[in-house]
Amino acid sequence: MNNTPTPHNAAKCGEIAPTVLMPGDPLRAEFIAETYLTDARRVSAVRNMYAFTGTYNGRDVSVMGAGMGMPSMGIYSYELYHFYGVEQIIRVGSAGALQDDIGLNDIILAMSASTDSNYASQYHLPGTLAPTADFLLLSRAAANAKARSLRVHVGNVLSSDFFYNAADTVNDSWRRMGVLAAEMECAALYMNAAYSGKKALGILTVSDHLYRKESLSAEKRQNGFGTMIELALSLI
């Protein structure tokens, strides 16, 4: 914890709270801080990847952008866990639905994260790792969602390295295996959490459906995910 600031985070030790919400978009991080946190202050803007710390219901909380893809999430979450004393990271992001019973704006709790990435190769494991969420965070989020009568789905998501994939039938294979939705960061977050002995959960809002050509606008993705944010904050 004496390695701060880092090349990617200008915050000093103690300026990041033990709980961090991580959207992919730094502008969404700014929106969350300004809308939901009290006395929020920006503690880092390196590479325009904003980080803020404030309070929610009297408890310290930080919110920081993670960028797009597992390499970006891998860097920021690793530093938060290892250099800033962060105990739990809650990813709040978007996902593309794969299953017919999932609609736009539904909430997905990522119990596990399959991946086409080679991220786990660094651990030299003698098999295949199944990256999973922290059970306590997951179970609390599911209970809180039920109490709020939210449309919520709990299960496996795909964390893909590819937004544009030359194999145009690849989603069919994941869909057939019951994967709920595709996104790009949860697997790296869950692996970093496991490696550091910390906690993580992915809470995702469905922003598009990969089989019905339905989607939300970029503006709605940035500013319209209030239900997901409030669910994440209920875990603080």
Residue-range domains of the chain with CATH: 19-233 (3.40.50.1580)
Query: What is the pLDDT at residue 213?
Result: 86
Query: What is the pLDDT at residue 218?
Result: 76
Query: What is the pLDDT at residue 220?
Result: 74
Query: What is the pLDDT at residue 1?
Result: 54
Alpha helices of the chain — where are they, by DSSP H?
A: 26-36, 70-83, 135-147, 170-176, 186-196, 218-223, 226-233
165 Cβ contact partners less than 8 Å away, ≥ 6 residues apart: none
Distance CA 201, CA 188 (A): 11
**214: enclosing H helix or E strand:** strand 214-215
Q: What is the pLDDT along the chain (236 residues), one digit of tens a residue?
A: 568 999 999 999 999 999 999 999 999 999 999 999 999 999 999 999 999 999 999 999 999 999 999 999 999 999 999 999 999 999 999 999 999 999 999 999 999 999 999 999 999 999 999 999 999 999 999 999 999 999 999 999 999 999 999 999 999 999 999 999 999 999 999 999 999 999 999 999 999 999 998 999 877 776 669 999 999 999 99
Query: What is the pLDDT at residue 134?
Result: 98
Distance CA 12, CA 131 (A): 30
Query: What is the pLDDT at residue 224?
Result: 64
Residues labelled catalytic: 208
Amino acid at 185: E
